[in-house]
Amino acid sequence: MTKVDPVSIEVVGNYLVSAVREMNSTLRRTAYSTILRESMDSSTALFDPQGQMIGQADHVPSHQGSLAKAARMVAEDIPLDPEDIVILNHPYEGGTHHPDIMIFKPVFHDGHLVAISAALGHHIDVGGRSPGSISSDARDVFEEGLMIPPMKLYRKGVVVPEILRMIEANIRVPEKTLGDIRAEISAVTIGERRYLELVERYGREELAEIVAGVLDYSEALMREDLAKLPNGSYSAEGFLDSDGIDDRPVRIFVTVTLKDGDVVVDFEGTDPQVKGPFNCSDSSVYSAVYAGVRYMTNPIIRQNEGCFRPIEIVRPEGTVVKPRKPAPISGRFTTLERIADTIVLALNQARGDDQVGSSLACVCSFAANGTYPNSERRFVCFEIFGGGWGGTMRGDGLDASFGLMANSYDTPIEAVELEYPLRVESYNLITDSGGPGSNRGGMGFYRHTRYLNGEGYYTNRSETSKFPPKGVLGGKPGAPSKQRLMRATGKTDDLPSKITNLSIYAGDLIWMAQPGGGGYGNPLDREPARVLDDLLDEKISPEAARDTYGVVVEGGVVDAAATEARRAELRVAG
């Protein structure tokens, strides 16, 4: 471990965290699209000259390994000059999936490269066969949208206008996408400014030593935490509903081996790569593995390259987690959520009573396009939704939150209705959606949106309709997701979890129900007073209170004797 005084490690480490948070605030405040401005589907980070992550904001976990892999490629493969800006989104050349555009800016001091400032934003549209660039049935990577290999958008401070014209010519709402690219450039410029302030304070060489110490310290804390878990190999499996083309489940299988603070995550047994776009890019697999392991360690450990060093990843060639080109890949977020959840299920086996029920393990999303009233101006709306987290030994799971890999927000109703010819008509928690347990799973929710003008296309990309989130230690599964399209004509179409470019018309209602989290422990062990609170809050139904939790309520109070008898009856029955 680098010999650096602990005060400097704390001061510089926390400064880096503050800097990357400011970068993301800048991105959000200057962004054009709702997906960045409101949902915060973005991340910012700083890297050393070799591409090692030295600080990342606490935003989207799925971007941590993604940015790290791309930054290393930029550092190694592109000759960098002061005031350059590098852009990329190519999923087979350092990117994640097509909508995630990355921006990198090298940071120079007295002619020396001292850092790389980076931002990643999910853009509302980057072309391809479906509005929002989230086709659920693409057959190859070329159907999914514009691909930008690593290239210089600015050369020594001068923009390359041909690149911007090429991007503009290939997307549906160029004013939004180009505006969001400018927001990312603003963010990386803030990162450059803040890092140069550190260099001026400490000097280039001393700061490099301190930063190395920050990484070493995170590594040491990670190894210390992981070493507390018993050595051994632990396996688990999880499933996607389908690949969007073939209606069969897609299996993710992991074996996690712990040994004295080291971790090996092996995907042997995972299904071969699939026809649809739910294969996972290299950088996204790394993100999912890092996040799944990090969820089992202390959250106060600063997020940087040091956290990744104890982790080794084994991926068989030609599988969902290591596909061969040109396999489609834009749905990789669904897969990496399942990867992270399956790793958590495997590590549960090493944690005794300190386990966690499955969360929603997906981000359900939809995209719709069309025109504004009395105008030829077109719009693309892309929204992402969460659901319930799993219960733990410490309490109930979070209600209506995002999955393990997102950490974003639902777009506020007001923002949707101001921005698009859409109306959100229902936005409520779903009774009985949280998996029953001594600590209940978090609740899912309804979000129903009315399409108001003309006609367009609707694309749904969801999960967990066939495989609801699992409970642990006697806890029950959460409720699955459901999707419908309720036509203005009165007809209702029940939809699969994945469908692309469905024609939609004014008056149609996009009906989405999000999954709940898995429960922890036997529901019959939940304190009757907590069951009563849930009943009065309509988080559970009277039937669930009596038949699942074994709690008898009469006149708004718990009947203790009847509850004891009912629970004894249920324990005998099963």
User: Going by C-beta distance under 8 Å and a sequence separation of 6 or more, which residues neighbour residue 461?
Assistant: 134, 136, 244, 331, 334, 364, 365, 366, 497, 498
| DSSP 8-state assignment for residue 142 | G
The Cα 506–Cα 456 span in angstroms is: 9
Give the whole-angstrom CA distance, residue 181 versus residue 102.
9
Do 515 and 433 contact (CB within 8 A), yes or no? yes
Do 393 and 354 touch, CB atoms closer than 8 A?
yes
Neighbours of 372 (CB within 10 A): 14
Dihedral of the alpha carbons of 427, 431, 434, 435, in degrees to the nearest 10: -150
Cβ pair 160, 185 in contact under 8 A: no
Q: Are 116 and 196 in contact (CB under 8 A)?
A: no
**CA 434/CA 531 separation, integer angstroms:** 13
> Do strands 262-266 and 311-314 pair parallel, antiparallel, or not at all (unpaired)?
parallel
Query: 77 and 8 in contact (C-beta within 8 Å)?
Result: no
Digits of tens for pLDDT over the chain (574 positions)? Answer: 557 899 999 999 999 999 999 999 999 999 999 999 999 999 999 999 999 999 987 788 888 777 888 999 999 999 999 999 999 999 999 999 999 999 999 999 999 999 999 999 999 999 999 999 999 999 999 999 999 999 999 999 999 999 999 999 999 999 999 999 999 999 999 999 999 999 999 999 999 999 999 999 999 999 999 999 999 999 999 999 999 999 999 999 999 999 999 999 999 999 999 999 999 988 899 999 999 999 889 988 999 999 999 999 999 999 999 999 999 999 999 999 999 999 999 999 999 999 999 999 888 889 999 999 999 999 999 999 999 999 999 999 999 998 888 888 889 999 999 999 999 999 999 999 999 999 999 999 999 999 999 999 999 999 999 999 999 999 999 999 999 999 999 999 999 999 999 999 999 999 999 999 999 999 999 999 999 999 999 999 999 999 999 999 999 999 999 999 999 999 999 7
Residue closest to 531 by CA, chosen among 397, 440, 418, 398: 440
Q: For residue 369, what are its two tokens?
A: 């396009």
Contacts of 472 (CB under 8 A, 6+ apart): 348, 355, 356, 357, 358, 390, 518, 519, 520, 521
- Its pTM stands at 0.94
> How many CB atoms are located within 10 Å of the residue 226 CB?
21
**DSSP structure string for 77-113:** HS---TT-EEEE--TTTT-SSTTEEEEEEEEEETTEE
Phi, then psi, of 245 in degrees rounded to 5:
-120, -60
SS3 state at 212? helix
CA angle 491, 478, 540 (to 5 degrees): 85
Tell me phi and psi for residue 208, to 5 degrees.
Answer: -60, -40
Residue 111: exposure state from Cβ atoms within 10 A (0-12, 13-18, ≥19): exposed
Q: What span, in angstroms and rounded, lies between the C-alpha atoms of 440 and 534? A: 10
pLDDT at 2: 57
One-letter identity of residue 446: Y
Helix (H) or strand (E) holding 201: helix 174-202
Residue pair 196/105 in contact by the 8 Å Cβ criterion: no
> Between the CA of residue 137 and those of 247, 277, 460, 513, what are the distances in Å?
11, 6, 11, 22
pLDDT at 63: 80
Q: In sequence order, which residues have a C-beta less than 8 Å from that of residue 531 and are 6 or more positions away?
A: 540, 545, 549, 551, 558
Helices marked H in 31-63 — which ranges?
34-37
CB 179 within 8 A of CB 104: no
Angle subtended at Cα 541 by Cα 465 and Cα 497, rounded to the nearest 5 degrees: 10
Contact present, 60 and 406 (Cβ < 8 Å):
yes
What distance in Å separates the CA atoms of residue 70 and residue 93, rounded to the nearest whole number? 8
Phi, psi torsion values for 485, nearest 5 degrees: -125, 115
